[in-house]
Amino acid sequence: MLLIGGNPKKEHIVLNPKMANRHGLVAGATGTGKTVTLQVLAEGFSKMGVPVFTADVKGDLSGVAAAAGSHPKIDERIEKIGIDNYQSHDNPVIFWDVFGKHGHPVRTTISEMGPILLANLLELNDTQEGVLHIAFDIADEQGLLLLDIKDLRSMLNWLSDNRKEIMREYGNVSPQSVAAIVRRLLVLENSGGDQFFGEPALNIQDMMRTDTSGRGLINILHSKELMLNPRIYSTFLLWLLSELFEELEEVGDPDKPRLVFFFDEAHLLFENAPKALLDRIEQVVRLIRSKGVGVFFVTQHPTDIPDDVLGQLGNRIQHALRAFTPRDFKAVKTAAETFRPNPELDAESLITQLGVGEALVSVLDEKGRPGIVQQTLICPPESRIGPLKGPERKKVFQESPVHGVYDKAIDRESAYEILLAKEQKLEERKQKEMEQAKQLREKEEKAKAAKKKASRSSSRKSNRQGVGETFLKTLARTLGSNLGKKLLRGILGSLTGSK
C-alpha cells in the first residue's frame, strides 16, 4: 500500500497499487501543496518497483534524487499522522530535457508524432491538416522517412511542385496551404521545436527501468523552458502517452502498475484542443489502464478536465481552492460533487478552508469502488523538498543508465536527402538536355551557315561563267559578222570585179 497521509483520527489513508491504473487527479490552487503530494506519490511508487514519469514545471522536483534533511515541521507532521517507519532516502532518477541542457535530450521523429498531433502542434485548420495527411501518406508509399523538420519541409515542397499529378488521386493541394504549413514549421523551429524532432528517438523502455535494488526509476522532464511554449509541452506529453498506449501490450489489471504517468499543468492539454483530439485523449485514458499504465492529471481546478476524462479518474486528491470568482465557486462545487459523500464532513465548505499540505482524498477500494472522502494531512516526502544543486544534478546525470545513449544527435539519410538527391539528378538531367539542345542548335546553325556559304559561292561562280560565255558569244558574232561581210564583199567584189 502507498501511504498518502492520515485523517484527524490518525487513520492512515492509503492508495491500493492495484487500483493505481484506474488513474487519478491531484488538484488545488497554487501554493497549496500539489507538488509535494506528487513527490510523495512518485517516491511511493518507486519504492514498490514502479517506474514514474513526471514533468518538473517549476524546477523543484529534482530534490527527489536526494534524501530529506531533518526539519521540525517534518517531525511534527510525522507525529500528527502517526508514521512509525519514516526514513529519509534518495531515489533513482533520470533527468530528461527536450533542449538537452538539464538532462538527456528526448526526441521523437515526425513520423512517430503523426499528422494529428503535429497538426495540433502547428495549429493548422482542417484544410491544412488534410494536406499534412497527404504528405504523410505519400511519404509512407514511397518509403520516405520523415525524421525531422527539414524532412517534412522537403516533402511539402515536393508536394507543391507535383500537385497536378497528386490531385488526380488525393484531391486539391493548394500552394497556399503548403506555404501556410511551411510558415508554421518555421515558427516551430524558431521556438526550439527543431530540437524535439530527430534521432536517436526516445525508446519508451528506457523510461520503464528499475535500479539494482528493484526500485522504479523516476523520470523527470525539465520543463521550465518548455513551458514557454505550452503547446509544445502539452503535445509532447500527449505524444508520450500515445506511444505508451501503442507500444505496450495488454496486461489487464496487474497487482501494481507498470508505469505511473503524472501530467502536470494538465489544463494546457485541453485548452483550445479540437474535438477530434479530445476524443483521442479520452480514448487513450480509457484504454491505457489495460496496458498497466496509471495516469494522474495535476491541475488547479477539476473543471480544467473535460467530463469524459474526469469520469475516468478514480483516485482523487483535492487541495484547497480559493473562491473569489464565479468560476472559482463553480470549481469548488464541482470538486465537492465528484467525491463520494462523507456524513461527517461538508466537502464543499472544507475545500476553501484546507491548509497547506492538507487535502480531501478519495481512493478506490480493492473492488474498484470510490471510498468516502477524507480530510487528509499529506505525508512529508522522504526525499528533499526543493531542487538539487548544480554538482548534485551533474552527478545524477553522469551516473544515469542511459548516459551517452541520447546525448549526440544522429542525422541519417531520410526524406530530405533522398528528395534533394532526386532534385539534383533532375537538375543535372535538365542541364544535360539543355546542353545537348544547345549543341544541336549550334550544329544546325553551323550546317545552315555552311550551306548558305556554299550557295553564295556557287552563285558567284555561275555569274562569272555567264559573263564569259556572253562575251565569247558576242565576240564570235562580231567576228563572224565582219568576216562574213568581208568574204561577201570580196566575192561580190571579185564577182563584181570579174564583170
- Let me know: does 94 contact 220? Beta carbons within 8 Å: yes
* H-run or E-run covering 43: helix 34-47
Task: Give the 3-state secondary structure of residue 250.
Answer: coil
| CATH T-level fold of 2-107+202-398 | Rossmann fold (3.40.50)
C-alpha cell at 162: 507535383
Residue 490, pLDDT score: 47
Residue extents of the structural domains in the chain:
2-107+202-398, 110-192
- What pLDDT was estimated at residue 496? 45
Rounded distance between C-alpha atoms, residue 138 and residue 496, angstroms: 118
pLDDT of the residue at 470: 55
To the question of pTM greater than 0.75 for the whole model, the response is yes
375 near 347, Cβ under 8 Å? Answer: no
Rounded to whole angstroms, how far apart are CA atoms 190 and 446? Answer: 56
Interatomic CA distance for residues 66 and 393, integer angstroms? 10
C-alpha cell at 351: 475545500
Strand, coil or helix: 196 = coil
Q: Where are the beta strands (DSSP E) in 74-175?
A: 93-97, 104-105
Q: How far apart (Å, rounded) are the C-alpha atoms in residues 94 and 206?
A: 10
Q: Determine the 3-state secondary structure of 57 from DSSP.
A: coil
Residues 271, 272, 273: CA angle, nearest 5 degrees: 90
Query: Which single residue is written with the C-alpha cell 565569247?
Result: 472
Report the candidate in 315, 85, 110, 303 with the shortest Cα–Cα distance to residue 196: 110
**Grid cell listed for 273:** 484542443
Q: What does the pLDDT read at residue 430? A: 82
Compute the distance between CA of residue 123 and CA of residue 119 in angstroms, rounded to an integer.
6
Separation between Cα atoms, residue 427 and residue 408, nearest integer Å: 34
SS3 354: coil
Please give the C-alpha separations between residue 179 and each of 3, 152, 167, 312, 425, in angstroms, as whole numbers. Answer: 55, 12, 17, 40, 25
User: What pLDDT was estimated at residue 473?
Assistant: 57
- CA pseudo-torsion sign 120, 124, 129, 134: negative
Report the helix count and the strand count for the chain, using DSSP H and E.
15, 12
Q: Which three cell numbers stand for residue 355?
A: 491548509
Give the C-alpha separation, 331 to 318, whole Å: 11
What cell was used for 432? 544535360
pLDDT of residue 234: 86
3-state SS, one letter per residue, for 284-346: HHHHHHHHCEEEEEEECCHHHCCHHHHCCCCEEEECCCCCCCHHHHHHHHHHHHCCECCCCCC
* pLDDT at residue number 226: 85
Local confidence pLDDT in tens for the 499 residues of the chain: 899 999 888 889 999 999 999 999 999 998 899 999 999 999 999 999 999 999 998 888 999 999 998 888 899 999 999 998 889 999 999 999 998 889 999 999 999 999 988 998 898 999 999 999 999 999 999 999 999 999 999 999 999 988 888 888 888 888 999 999 999 999 988 887 888 899 999 999 999 999 999 999 999 999 988 888 888 888 888 899 889 998 999 988 889 999 999 999 888 888 877 787 888 888 889 999 999 999 999 998 888 899 889 989 999 999 999 888 888 888 888 888 888 899 989 999 999 999 999 999 999 988 889 999 999 999 999 999 999 998 999 999 999 999 999 989 898 889 889 988 888 887 778 888 888 888 888 888 888 888 887 877 666 555 555 555 555 555 555 555 554 444 444 444 444 444 3
Q: Which residues of 209-240 are buried (b: 16+ CB within 10 A; e: fewer)?
A: eeeeeebbbbbbbbbeebbebebbbbbbbbbb
Q: How far is CA 404 from CA 100, 180, 217, 400, in A?
A: 12, 38, 18, 9
Give 216's strand partners: 210
Q: Note whether 279 and 314 are within 8 A (CB).
A: no
Cα torsion 453, 456, 461, 462: sign: positive
Cβ pair 328, 58 in contact under 8 A: no
* DSSP letter assigned to residue 203: P
Phi-psi sector, 87: left (phi>0), alpha (psi -120 to 50), beta: beta
Pick left, alpha or beta for residue 271 (phi over 0 → left; psi -120 to 50 → alpha; otherwise beta). Answer: beta
Q: What is the pLDDT of residue 303?
A: 86
Cis peptide preceding 274, ω within 30 of 0: no
Is there a contact between 86 and 64 (Cβ–Cβ < 8 Å)? no
Q: What pLDDT score was predicted for residue 151?
A: 94
